[in-house]
């Protein structure tokens, strides 16, 4: 059991050696180690603060990007809507103009047909009048006393005359 239980002298010298090492470490090594640990802790804390600040800035930039993207989409939709309205207006304007031109041309054609019809009726009336005058003139030249002869003469003149 002596091997397991240390002697008083050994414990004394170990305690003295421990105290000397503790004093030397406290005097020369403890402050630099603590300063190094404090510096390391401060740099880690600064890095964490910087990372948090960068994270907040990134979130702000992403929010700005989302806002700009939404505005761009809205503007694109407005431009497309305005272009569609303008195209529809142009189509409607062209349709209306074509309808007006068509109606105008139809009115002109009807007027031309009406004028041609009036001219044809006037020509027929003039031909009928000239024919009547000619028949009357021929009848007057012939014997006015015989009604049968007048009627036969009128029938013969009518058959000779062709209407164009």
Interval 80-92 mean pLDDT: 93
Give the span between the Cα atoms of 137 and 74, in whole angstroms.
93
pLDDT score recorded for residue 155: 80
When mean pLDDT is compared across 15-29, 58-72, 142-156, the lowest value belongs to: 142-156
* CA distances (Å), origin 51, targets 33, 40, 42, 89, 124: 26, 16, 14, 56, 107
Tokens matching residue 155: 């029938």
Pick the range with the lowest mean pLDDT from 17-21, 28-32, 69-73, 138-142: 138-142
| CA–CA distance, 149 with 160 (Å, rounded to integer) | 16
Q: Say which DSSP state 4 is in.
A: T
Position 63 scores a pLDDT of 93
Angle (CA) 124 127 128, round 5°: 85
How open is the CA angle 130-134-135, to the nearest 5 degrees?
120
Query: Would you state the structure tokens that stand for residue 125, as one six-digit string?
Result: 């009336």
pLDDT band at residue 153 using 50, 70 and 90 as cut-offs: confident
The pLDDT of residue 60 = 93
pLDDT band at 55 (very low <50, low <70, confident <90, very high): very high
The pLDDT value recorded for residue 162 is 63
Summarize pLDDT for 98-151 with one digit per residue, the tens.
Answer: 999 999 999 999 999 999 999 999 898 888 888 888 877 776 776 566 777 777
CB neighbour list of residue 14: distance below 8 Å, 6 or more residues apart: 6
């Amino acid at each position: 059991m002596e091997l397991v239980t240390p002697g008083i002298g050994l414990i004394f010298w170990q305690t003295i050696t421990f105290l000397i090492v503790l004093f030397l470490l406290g005097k020369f090594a403890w402050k630099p180690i603590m300063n190094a640990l404090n510096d390391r802790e401060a740099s880690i804390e600064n890095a964490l603060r910087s990372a948090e600040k960068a994270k907040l800035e990134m979130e702000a930039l992403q929010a700005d990007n989302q806002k700009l993207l939404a505005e761009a989409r809205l503007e694109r939709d407005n431009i497309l809507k305005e272009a569609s309205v303008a195209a529809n207006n142009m189509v409607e304007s062209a349709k209306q103009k074509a309808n007006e031109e068509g109606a105008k041309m139809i009115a002109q054609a009807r007027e031309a047909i009406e004028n041609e019809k009036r001219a044809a009726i006037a020509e027929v009336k003039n031909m009928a009048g000239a024919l009547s005058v000619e028949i009357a003139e021929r009848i007057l030249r012939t014997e006015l006393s015989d009604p049968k002869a007048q009627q036969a003469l009128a029938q013969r003149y009518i058959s000779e005359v062709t209407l164009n």
